[in-house]
Structure 1
Amino acid sequence: MILTFIFLAAIVVFICMAFKVVPQQEVYIVERLGRYHATLEAGLNFIIPIIDRVAYKHTLKEIPLDVPSQVCITRDNTQLTVDGIIYFQVTDPKLASYGSSNFVVAITQLAQTTLRSVIGRMELDKTFEERDDINRTVVASLDEAAVSWGVKVLRYEIKDLVPPQEILRSMQAQITAEREKRARIAQSEGIKQEQINLAAGQREAEIQKSQGEAQASINESQGAKVAQINRAEGEAEALRLVAQATAEAIRQVAAAVKEPGGTEAVNLKVAEQYVDAFAKLAKTNNTLIMPANVADIGSLVSAGMSIIKGQNTTIVK
């Protein structure tokens, strides 16, 4: 009974050892009698216990590997403390098991040496500006060497570039000076643009003012010209109307003289005006000028009538 129980237990243990369940995205390397035999992929697999054994286990996932910080010397003899991170993936489990005793250590050491070599060919300022180029160079170098280890290096990223404190202070001072310089340049450009704008505005204002004054002068001269023309036309029209009125009056007087009794009326009017003129002259002047024949008013009237008759004759003609 005991032997049977032991036998059954041995069978159970054998079966448990014979079947291997491999998780997803993992592989097992099986050795038979110390030599590589097979690669077990995800799922249920069968091996021969005691003869076969799982020698290595690998994950096929992308693995991030932290590269320890190290001191690198740049081309201009400046020390930099650099650390980074590598992303790699096992592509050939057999090579990963037998290509290197420890591919993780190999990748880490190669990344450090490659990084020191790349930074040693650059100046300090370039290391900050060309981090992408450094990353690509390290990845290319690691990927070339990692082929024989069954590993694919996907990316390398520099996490920190830390120069000495003295360099940091000098860089900070340089950055501060550069920013102050840019601020002064920007301020001067602003002042310059302001002056340009003010000058342009003043010039435009002067141009507008001069144009306005010129237009006002033109309008004023045109207005004065128009006023002069209107005034001259008005005066001419007034003279013309006066002349027409005078001519009409003369024609009416001439017509009245020709009518019966017209001559006697004219003689009476001339005599009245003659007497009235001498009366006014006596009132306004101390010296009175008298004609030689002042007593002969009839002769004066006859002379005036002869003049009127002559004018009438001329008008009739």
Structure 2
Amino acid sequence: MGQYIIYLFLFFGIIIILKGIFTVKQQTSAIVERFGKFLSIRNSGLHFKIPVFDRIAGRINLKIQQLDVLVETKTKDDVFVRLKISVQFQVIKEKVYDAFYKLENPHDQITSYVFDVVRAEVPKMKLDDVFERKDDIAIAVKQELNEAMVNYGYDIIKTLVTDIDPDLQVKEAMNRINAAEREKVAAEYEAEAERIKIVAKARAEAESKRLQGQGIADQRREIARGLEESVDVLNNVGINSQEASALIVVTQHYDTLQSIGEETNSNLILLPNSPQAGSDMLNNMIASFTASNQIGEEMKKQNAKKGITRKKPGSDA
């Protein structure tokens, strides 16, 4: 009978010892209380507590955690917008007591501060500024949270504005504005391309006209040189310049008639082709040459008189 009692005490003793042994995981802290009063903080590893007297009041996660907060507010230009703020925070290992006993629900506390900061900063900005200055909003949230949460044993690692979602009608209006802007830019590029084409075409036409004029000038220069050589040849055989010029004109007249007769597609061409027509042309040429010489001589005399008149005041001096 006594042996059974001993075995019974040993059995209960083993159970009590086993209930007093507990483990704490890595990156975790356990808060141990005795009779409802804080006793100690146990970190990762194997630990022992007195059964019945001691109990584990709770465990604190020491890993970096993330809380996503969705805030709806209004901008300076009266546009409602929803912002998603991601807050990365961690319990300070040296302040596990404050983190466990000072705050009942740290997530609600952080959410409240995020709402307060975002609804204070965003109404100062226009919608476009909210997109451009989202980093400023994140920095303002982090500073406010750090100042408030460090007293509760929490360290704010980083805050991010991960999403900015304006009202649906506003987004559609923004898309229309962007589309119109892109169409405007495309129209400007198309107009510029058309202008370049027109300028290039005008330059090509101008160059073509210039080359055409140069070709005509070269042609006439060669014709004049050929006529000059012809006159020189006729002068060498005793024919004066007027007769030679008239002879060349008459010769070219009949050469032109022959060329027209060979190359034209018409069946009938009426031209002054009588010997009298050639004689009239020759007389007209001689008369024009004579008149031209007389006008030239008269102009030389007038220029000579002007030159003498200009020299007289200088000679008296």
**What amino acid does structure 1 have at the position aligned with 2:130?**
T
1:162-177 correspondence to structure 2 within 5 Å: 163=166, 168-169=168-169, 171-173=171-173, 175-177=175-177
**What amino acid does structure 1 have at the position aligned with 2:135?**
D
Residue equivalent to 1:141: 144
Residue equivalent to 1:13: 15
SS at match of 1:136: helix
Taking a change above 3 Å as real, the CA distance of residues 53 and 78 of structure 1, as seen in their structure-2 partners, is: same
Taking a change above 3 Å as real, the CA distance of residues 47 and 123 of structure 1, as seen in their structure-2 partners, is: same
Task: Write the distance in 2 (CA, Å) between the matches of 1:204 and 1:82.
Answer: 58
- Quick check: 2:16–2:51 contact (8 Å CA) kept in 1? yes
Task: Write the distance in 1 (CA, Å) between the matches of 2:196 and 2:189.
Answer: 10
Residue equivalent to 2:156: 153
Query: Structure 2 stretches of 5 or more lacking a match?
Result: 239-317
SS at match of 1:190: helix
1:1-317 correspondence to structure 2 within 5 Å: 1-67=3-69, 69-92=70-93, 93-158=96-161, 161=164, 163=166, 168-169=168-169, 171-173=171-173, 175-187=175-187, 189-221=188-220, 223-224=222-223, 227=226
**What amino acid does structure 2 have at the position aligned with 1:200?**
V
- Quick check: 2:71–2:118 contact (8 Å CA) kept in 1? no
- How many residues of Structure 1 are paired with residues of Structure 2 in the alignment? 234
How far apart are residue 96 of structure 1 and its match? 1.1
- Quick check: 2:99–2:153 contact (8 Å CA) kept in 1? yes
How far apart are residue 44 of structure 1 and its match? 2.0
How far apart are residue 57 of structure 1 and its match? 0.6
Task: Write the distance in 2 (CA, Å) between the matches of 1:114 and 1:223.
Answer: 92
**What amino acid does structure 1 have at the position aligned with 2:99?**
A
Taking a change above 3 Å as real, the CA distance of residues 221 and 85 of structure 1, as seen in their structure-2 partners, is: same
**What amino acid does structure 2 have at the position aligned with 1:115?**
V
SS at match of 2:13: helix
Q: CA RMSD in A?
A: 3.3
1:13-72 deviation line (CA, Å, top 9, x unaligned): 2332333222122121223454444332222233444444322211122222233x4543
Task: Write the distance in 1 (CA, Å) between the matches of 2:186 and 2:213.
Answer: 41
Query: Structure 1 stretches of 5 or more lacking a match?
Result: 241-317
Taking a change above 3 Å as real, the CA distance of residues 186 and 102 of structure 1, as seen in their structure-2 partners, is: same
**What amino acid does structure 1 have at the position aligned with 2:57?**
A
Taking a change above 3 Å as real, the CA distance of residues 204 and 163 of structure 1, as seen in their structure-2 partners, is: closer
**What amino acid does structure 1 have at the position aligned with 2:43?**
E
SS at match of 1:61: coil
**What amino acid does structure 2 have at the position aligned with 1:133?**
D
Residue equivalent to 1:247: none
Structure of greater Rg:
1
Task: Write the distance in 2 (CA, Å) between the matches of 1:48 and 1:42.
Answer: 18
TM-score (ref. length: structure 2): 0.60
Task: Write the distance in 1 (CA, Å) between the matches of 2:213 and 2:165.
Answer: 73
Residue equivalent to 2:300: none
**What amino acid does structure 2 have at the position aligned with 1:186?**
A
SS at match of 1:148: helix
**What amino acid does structure 2 have at the position aligned with 1:109?**
S
Residue equivalent to 1:249: none
SS at match of 1:155: strand
**What amino acid does structure 2 have at the position aligned with 1:151?**
Y
Task: Write the distance in 1 (CA, Å) between the matches of 2:224 and 2:77.
Answer: 88
Task: Write the distance in 1 (CA, Å) between the matches of 2:28 and 2:161.
Answer: 29
Taking a change above 3 Å as real, the CA distance of residues 197 and 54 of structure 1, as seen in their structure-2 partners, is: same
How far apart are residue 151 of structure 1 and its match? 1.3
**What amino acid does structure 2 have at the position aligned with 1:43?**
G
Taking a change above 3 Å as real, the CA distance of residues 5 and 104 of structure 1, as seen in their structure-2 partners, is: farther
